[in-house]
A and B are shown apart, each in its own frame.
Chain A
Amino acid sequence: MLSLLVFMPLVAAGALAVLPRVPDAAARWAWVAVAGAELVLVVAMALAYRTPAPGGLTFEQRVRWIPAVGTSYHVGLDGISLPLAALTCVVFLACAVYALREAHRPRAQAALFLFLQTACLGVFAAQDLVLFFVFFDLSIVGMYFSIAGWGHGDRARSALRFFLYTFLGSLALLVAFIGLYLASAPHTFDIVELAANPPLQGSPTTGVLVLVAALVGLGIKTPVAPVHTWLPPAHTDAPTIGSVVLAGVMLKLGTYGLVRVVMPLLPDAWRAAAWVVVTLGIVSALYGALVALAQSDFKRMVAYTSVNHMGYVVLALGAAGLAGGSAASAASGAPAGGAGSALGAAAASSQQLAVMGAVTQMVSHGLITAALFLLAGVLRDRTGTYAMGPGSTVSGLGRLAPRWAALLAVASFASLGLPAFSGFVAELQVFAGSIATAPVTAVALLGILITAALFLRALQHLLTGPARAPRGGFADLRAAEAVPVVVLLVLATAIGVAPQPLLDVIAPTSAWITSVVTPSATDAVAASVAAPAGS
């Protein structure tokens, strides 16, 4: 069933690419149909989902591929990958509906995006490092063609920079995977087997070197502050739905890789480098927010807020490793004392909160940013520009296009983390978890403040003032444009109002990740449970 989910878009893409003389309208609707079927499938899987044992998987499937090298076609879902797979299906369906108006080579575009959907779903489903890498790389190839083929502005250059940058990252990742493979005994690329018996536990130097390679690879993809420079030009010149997929789904591949691969497979090194990761997260969050504040290009601003939001995710994941350190020391410092054990248990739970917050933030950011980029696409369609603020020819759109304005306002408030939206739930958990373990991470709260300021400023520039639009008018949203945005925002609100179903799925796997990153934390919990009985 999972393989069907992953490969159905690819088959459809192949059919669209090979079959001669498919009319454009048929190609558009075929894409919507396949994306819709994917969503139905993933909802069915979510309903059938039963929490697996810690470290286990549901919908697991394993087929021999190159047994001599210890790699197989191994897919499965757990509490972290299922929400992200569902997010992928939602975002791609939104793109398919939005692209119903696409006039430029719609058949090729539909085939390309279906191919991209397979690649993204494949990354979330993969339980083998080689398979993970295969899909990871394919997603880069697909996005390159999306930017180069359907973008605007200096698209060839932006696409090239995107490809080179992220390809370098993926090769660093490959080096890290080879390191993990050679360090494991028996040699294997299987993530589940590696997680059950993490390699490189005894060799801190090699472990940290492998971790650095993996961090470079995934950090570029996320992107983290010093290596984010490919993102703004890629977004600015990408087509609307390319931006939506890039920000909504593909940025998550980086942080998902951290949770899925790096943390369970290199727990020692992760603990050792936790402060570095936390610092990277804080710097990304603040720097992304500050640079976003300085933008006079709406789409570029949204792109930089992605750096900010993904910074929170990295911060939370780093804090999880940090808390591991403190929990371990607390537990070992007072092994028999009830207070020490309780502290250890508390630290462990705040750490789990941080991981849950990180995963929730990935889902939430995917939904909200996708909506924002769709609205930005409408802005460009109508006015030919993303420019806002002084010197811009666009203002007062609140009067010209009330529906567009209302949705933009809602999406902006959701993105800045207003309560009742998913961003709030996510950021609350991220900060509650992180600050409890390392109070200094409260610095990153400033990022929320700056984000609020910049979104309010953008709303002011675009929606208020004299009603002006360079091409005379600004037609309000059509159905094909409004429906995907509304659906995305309704989902974001639903998660914000009733997060429990989502958190129930995420929590067990987060607890497992937490327990792997801090082996002693489970002992501490066990001790705190056992202590009252003993005394």
Chain B
Amino acid sequence: MEHDVAMLTPEVCLLVGTVTCLLMGSFLARERQRWSRVVAVLALVAAAVTALVGPASPAMGSLAFQASYALDAPTTTARMLICAATLLVLLLGRDELAGDPRESEICSLLLAAALGAVVLAGASDLLVLAVAYLLASIPLYALVGLARTPAAAEAALKTYLLGALLGIVMLLGVVVLVALAGGSTYAELVSGLRSGQVPRPLVAVGVVATLGGLLFKAGAVPGHFWVPDTAQGARTALAAFATTVPKIGGLIAAYRLVDATVQSGAVQTGTVVAGIAAATALLGVLAAFGQDDVRRLLGWSTVSQAGFLLFPVAAAGRSDLAQPSLLLYLAGYAAANLAAFAVVAAEPHRRTREAWRGAARRRPWVGTALLVSLLGLVGTPPTAVFVGKLTTFTAAWDGGLAWLVVLGAVATAASLFPYLRWLAAAFAKAPADEDAGQVSRGPSSAAAAAVSAAAVVLVLGVGAGPLWTALSGQVLR
């Protein structure tokens, strides 16, 4: 048991950070709250470092707490990705959140949501999955609503209602699956469902209901309604967080679940997921066409990305490429999406596409970061999402879903259109009335976050080879 706890050092770091930030918020003077951000950064760095040295420890490659928590390549990836992403969120939101009366609470909630996402990704047990879902969702509702604007209130309400609804559906699914399999761990799920004694329609109901909650976290159809509103209404840093970190946890969890059910042979979950993936990708791409608000545009773009990210989930258990391609795509997506939101945060006064006219000429580095992040989201080489798309498409075709690949290619081409209109505006000449001194420059920390995230997008793309090996470890169950 003591050994088990030691294996969860990254999670413990996050938990300690959460509690410390919360306590500091209660006891620190309002003008000294920035110290809680220092604590949050320290906790995240500690978690990332322990996650990094984790793979070398003998405990790696095993299951903890009676096989309910997997310590494998997906968990390690999720730990590092989520910690890095949250650090980036803190950097890009430094100016936006500094001096906020609720700074400590924000830090505490961010760490709690990050912890929930990590546990979601690592859960190898349906009951742990349900707890992780709640841990990841509840802080999110609060974070979304922090802006105290009507738009944020609407977004928070949508997120809350949808999260609560799909959470209950998920609990129902968990109950059905546990009852049918006679156990809650994925190992028991596979062996329990394989026996052939279970009624398949019920298994299907259980699996689909459980997936429902994870699709809410991933921002995929039918749990996507909260994403565009959150991206538009919440504060930029928190919108960046909400569209990145829960996706990492939700998609890895969905991968584990689909993999387990496919291994059991009871239901063909892959086909259902493929349908959801197709619908999500198409909806996200097409809905982005009509958007003038760049945050809402990014919100819909993250929906379409969730669709593409579901391709390898649909191929789970049927292609060896599925798992590393999912993790690689997640890394590339997280970097590109955060870079895009960081660019938005760096120019807070430019909310519509038209307002971006001439922005790239005024701040070339921010413009370059926007270019890299948007083309990175499309999947133009040599960005990380290109390798992600290449490998996820290959995995989907390998898993017998060639139609999905064709559809994905068409959706990718279509997704270029809204991004290009934004880029064209940003790189166009500035309107004559916009004087150089008139518009204040946005925060430099967000610009730094944008440029560094864009650099990561390129580095991950070119250095995908060594990364791939690290991501290919066996899924444990």
Contact = CB atoms under 8 A, between A and B. Distances in A.
Interface of A: 64-69, 130, 133-134, 137-138, 141, 144-145, 148-149, 156, 159-160, 163-164, 167-168, 171-172, 174-175, 178-179, 181-182
Given A137-B381, A148-B427, A163-B416, A68 B393 contact: no
Cβ-closest 10 pairs across A and B: A134-B381, A171-B409, A168-B413, A66-B465, A68-B468, A178-B394, A65-B465, A175-B409, A171-B413, A137-B381
Contacts of B444: none
Interface of B: 321, 324, 375, 380-382, 386-387, 390-391, 393-394, 397-398, 402, 405-406, 409-410, 412-413, 416-417, 420-421, 424, 427-428, 464-465, 468-469, 472
A149 B416 contact: no
B390 A160 contact: no
Contact of B321 (A69, A160, A171): A69
Contacts of A130: 390
Contact of A137 (B380, B398, B421, B465): B380
B397 A145 contact: no
A141 B324 CA distance: 28
A66 B409 CA distance: 22
A167 B413 contact: yes
Contacts of B416: 163-164, 167
**Which DSSP category, helix, strand, loop or mixed, fits chain B's interface?**
helix
A68 B324 CA distance: 10
A164 B417 contact: yes
B229 to A, nearest CB: 29
Contacts of A65: 464-465
Contacts of A181: 394
A138 B458 CA distance: 13
A182 B398 contact: yes
Most A CB contacts (10 A, CB to CB) among B324, B413, B417 go to B413
A145 B427 contact: yes
Given A69-B394, A145-B427, A168-B413, A178 B405 contact: yes
Given A134-B382, A145-B427, A160 B420 contact: yes
Nearest to A209: B402
Contacts of B386: 134, 137
A175 B375 CA distance: 19
Contacts of B406: 175
30 contacts: A65-B465, A66-B387, A68-B468, A68-B469, A69-B321, A130-B390, A134-B381, A134-B386, A137-B386, A138-B382, A141-B375, A145-B427, A148-B427, A156-B428, A160-B417, A160-B421, A163-B416, A164-B413, A164-B416, A164-B420, A167-B416, A168-B410, A171-B410, A171-B412, A172-B409, A174-B409, A175-B393, A175-B406, A175-B409, A182-B397
A294 B130 CA distance: 69
A66 B380 contact: no
A323 to B, nearest CB: 32
A70 to B, nearest CB: 10
Contact of B424 (A67, A133, A148, A182): A148
Contacts of A134: 381-382, 386
Given A64-B465, A66-B465, A138-B382, 17 more contacts: A65-B464, A66-B387, A68-B465, A130-B390, A138-B380, A138-B381, A141-B380, A145-B427, A148-B427, A149-B427, A159-B424, A167-B416, A171-B410, A175-B393, A178-B394, A178-B405, A179-B397
